[in-house]
Amino acid sequence: MKKLATALAFTAMTATGAMAEGLQGVTDDMITLGTYTDLSGPLAVWGVPEANG
């Protein structure tokens, strides 16, 4: 029963946090897009040019 209560409490906390956030990067006339990419290490060969456009 204690595990169930903990799981429900965790779910409730994460769900309310997700609902509280607005639409970040969206305005009436512009939508901003982003990406996660590697800027260092062996995969930076692809990540740096992608980040630079």
**Secondary structure (3-state) at 26:** strand
**Cross-strand bridge partners of residue 31:** 26
Is residue 53 scored above 70 in pLDDT? yes
Q: What is the mean pLDDT of residues 1-13?
A: 85
Does residue 20 have a pLDDT over 70?
Answer: no
Q: Enumerate the domain spans of the chain.
A: 24-53
Q: What is the pTM of this model?
A: 0.36
Identify the pLDDT of residue 23. Answer: 65
Question: For residue range 8-18, what is the model confidence (pLDDT) as tens digits?
Answer: 888 877 766 55
- CA–CA dist 39, 47 (Å, integer): 5
